[in-house]
């Protein structure tokens, strides 16, 4: 891997188990220095539990919050799922969503099959009232959709009419409450679709003119439903999209307008970017060791400043603290908005690239996340729960992300050989298994993961000196 101004390249995929990364960029000397690291052992302790839940749970919680006070004993019915992807078990998915919503309401019951609104009204009117008037109860009707990699659920609360005179007088009562929620497709939702085969992943290449990159991120910055790329260099931050084989920059901001230079920068700069994290859907967290960290809005105006360099930690935004003398990071990873909130203990190790990815299986259960830490010497430490392993010869770019949404995050690494190579590998505690591999003669400057979009599949972004590759 070609050595360059080092960088942390970090991106959120919402959702979902994709967490990226602290990673170096790649320019300058063709081989990294082989000097031993001055750090202590880089065997990390277990990360903190994920800070949020899987997609269906997140959507259900948001729907219930949006509906407000729902009468006790409500009937929850989901409509058949409308999807731009073929579903193998669409009815089961609809019922699971209804069950999650019902479980958050007082004494509510989910109907065992999906129904359109007309059928749901009939079911709600029939019971389980056992001859008593259901006045004061409610029907909660859900309309789930899967579009461009996101699950969207619209919810409405209706009064229940079992009395014949009420049905004649008001046959189609209007909803009394309305809510909407969305989340990116995750392994639980993806289980109701055909599997993603990483061995058949394809590359789409586009030219860029951003020069030497420190980091790249991917996500829906402006909330329009489409993915954007965020490029970070020493000079500026740019937001753009891939169009007709080129990167079209929509807006940019110079670093000197965003933040002053720090008093003691790292000789070879490190950088990080987290795009549209949970709770900050139209913002970007970005930082370099030249300038420090800032939160920007969709127009790249400064919203806040924070200590450290940002990286994704599940659905939270974490920060890493650089040591200018060592030219690397050291100490625990902490929450950007609360330095006392330690998210991951690195045991005082020094590292120049790291990545964390949540793991949610197809039943919606949480598992220990995959954690990757790379020492400046090229030694990569991998950990998932009690499983630990270290491998040598890893390049300055590392990424943990669930690219096939099977609940087990993949590792994406580069090589510290003269000719760079991008490898996508699965790791189950034994020897890593290569799923895809591409030579990168120009060297890789940054890696990122995109939330699911086309075909409800996440994307892998590889940035070289002159090109951006999108693997999906």
Query: What pLDDT does residue 41 have?
Result: 32
Region 225-253: mean pLDDT is 95
pTM (two decimals): 0.83
SS3 of 398, please? strand
Give the tokens for residue 136: 């004061």
Q: What does DSSP assign to residue 72?
A: T
The region of weakest confidence among 122-131, 382-391, 463-472 is 122-131
Q: Where does the pLDDT of residue 226 fall: very low under 50, low under 70, confident under 90, or very high at 90 and above? A: confident
Does 440 or 45 have the greater pLDDT score?
Answer: 440
β-partners of residue 194 are none
Residue 405, pLDDT > 60, answer: yes
> Could you read off the pLDDT of 23-44 as tens digits, one per residue?
443 333 332 332 222 233 333 3
The region of weakest confidence among 151-165, 195-209, 223-237, 326-340 is 151-165
Phi, psi of 125 (to 5 degrees): -70, -20
Q: Where does the pLDDT of residue 161 fall: very low under 50, low under 70, confident under 90, or very high at 90 and above? A: confident
Residue 165, pLDDT > 80, answer: no
β-partners of residue 275 are 284
- Count CB-CB contacts under 10 A for residue 126: 12
SS3 of 257, please? helix
SS3 of 289, please? coil
Nearest by Cα to 453 from 204, 245, 129: 204
Q: What does DSSP assign to residue 262?
A: P
The region of weakest confidence among 26-30, 105-109, 256-260, 428-432 is 26-30
Strands (E), 222-315: 228-232, 236-243, 246-254, 271-275, 283-288, 292-297, 302-306, 309-313
- Count CB-CB contacts under 10 A for residue 218: 28
Considering the chain, what percentage of its residues have pLDDT values greater than 90?
63
**Which residue is associated with the tokens 């300058």?**
28
SS3 of 235, please? coil
> Could you read off the pLDDT of 86-98 as tens digits, one per residue?
999 999 999 999 9
Nearest by Cα to 396 from 423, 414, 418: 414
Mean pLDDT rounded to a whole number for the chain? 85
Query: What pLDDT does residue 72 have?
Result: 92
Going from N- to C-terminal start, the domains of the chain cover 12-53+195-471, 55-185
Residue 444, pLDDT > 60, answer: yes
Specify the pairing of strand 338-344 against strand 333-335.
Answer: antiparallel
What is the Cα 309 distance to its own chain's centre? 18
β-partners of residue 458 are none
Report the distance separating Cα 94 and Cα 115, nearest Å: 9
Contact 461, 445 (CB under 8 A): no
Q: Which fold has domain 55-185?
A: Rossmann fold (3.40.50)
| CATH architecture of the region 12-53+195-471 | 6 Propeller (2.120)
DSSP H helical ranges for 72-142: 90-102, 117-126
Query: What pLDDT does residue 369 have?
Result: 86
Whole-number Cα distances in Å, 98 to 45, 91, 155, 159: 38, 11, 10, 18
> Could you read off the pLDDT of 166-179 as tens digits, one per residue?
554 556 788 999 99
The region of weakest confidence among 3-17, 144-158, 411-425 is 3-17
β-partners of residue 88 are none
Give the tokens for residue 81: 């799922």
> Could you read off the pLDDT of 266-297 as tens digits, one per residue?
988 999 999 988 778 889 999 999 999 999 99
Region 321-329: mean pLDDT is 91
Query: What pLDDT does residue 284 have?
Result: 96
């Amino acid at each position: 891997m070609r050595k360059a101004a080092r960088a942390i390249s970090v991106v959120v995929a919402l959702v979902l188990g994709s967490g990226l990364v602290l990673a170096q960029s790649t320019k300058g000397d063709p081989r990294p220095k082989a000097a031993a690291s001055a750090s202590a052992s880089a065997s990390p302790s277990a990360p903190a539990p994920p800070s949020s839940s899987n997609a269906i749970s997140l959507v259900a919680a948001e729907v219930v919050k949006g509906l407000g006070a729902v009468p006790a004993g409500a009937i929850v019915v989901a409509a058949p799922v409308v999807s731009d992807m073929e579903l193998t078990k669409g009815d089961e998915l609809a019922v699971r969503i209804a069950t999650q919503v019902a479980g958050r309401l007082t004494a509510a019951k989910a109907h065992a099959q999906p129904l359109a609104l007309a059928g749901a009204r009939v079911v709600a009117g029939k019971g389980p009232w056992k001859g008593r008037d259901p006045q004061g109860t409610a029907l909660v009707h859900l309309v789930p959709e899967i579009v461009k990699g996101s699950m969207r659920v619209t919810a409405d609360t209706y009064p229940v009419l079992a009395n014949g005179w009420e049905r004649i007088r008001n046959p189609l009562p209007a909803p009394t409450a309305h809510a909407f929620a969305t989340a990116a497709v995750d392994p639980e939702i993806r289980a109701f679709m055909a599997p993603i085969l990483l061995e058949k992943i394809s590359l789409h290449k586009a030219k860029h003119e951003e020069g030497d990159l420190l980091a790249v991120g991917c996500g829906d910055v402006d909330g329009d439903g489409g993915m954007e790329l965020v490029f970070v260099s020493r000079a500026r931050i740019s937001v753009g999209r891939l169009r007709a084989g080129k990167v079209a920059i929509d807006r940019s901001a110079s670093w000197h307008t965003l933040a002053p230079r720090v008093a003691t920068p790292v000789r070879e700069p490190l950088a990080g970017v987290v795009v549209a994290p949970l709770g900050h859907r139209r913002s970007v967290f970005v930082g370099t060791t030249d300038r420090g960290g800032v939160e920007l809005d969709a127009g790249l105006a400064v919203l806040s400043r924070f200590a450290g360099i940002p990286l994704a930690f599940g659905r939270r935004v974490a920060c890493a603290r650089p040591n200018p003398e060592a030219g690397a990071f050291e100490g625990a990873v902490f929450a950007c908005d609360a330095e006392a909130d330690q998210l991951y203990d690195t045991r005082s190790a020094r590292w120049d690239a790291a990545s964390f990815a949540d793991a949610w299986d197809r039943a919606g259960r949480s598992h220990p996340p995959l954690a990757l830490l790379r020492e400046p010497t090229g030694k990569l430490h991998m950990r998932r729960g009690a499983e630990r392993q270290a491998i040598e010869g890893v390049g300055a770019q590392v990424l943990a992300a669930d690219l096939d949404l099977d609940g087990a995050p993949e590792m994406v690494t580069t090589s510290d050989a003269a000719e760079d190579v991008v490898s996508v590998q699965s790791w189950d505690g034994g020897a890593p298994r290569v799923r895809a591999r591409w030579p990168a003669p120009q060297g890789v400057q940054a890696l990122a993961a995109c939330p699911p979009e086309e075909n409800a599949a996440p994307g892998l972004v590889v940035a070289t000196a002159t090109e951006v590759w999108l693997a999906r």
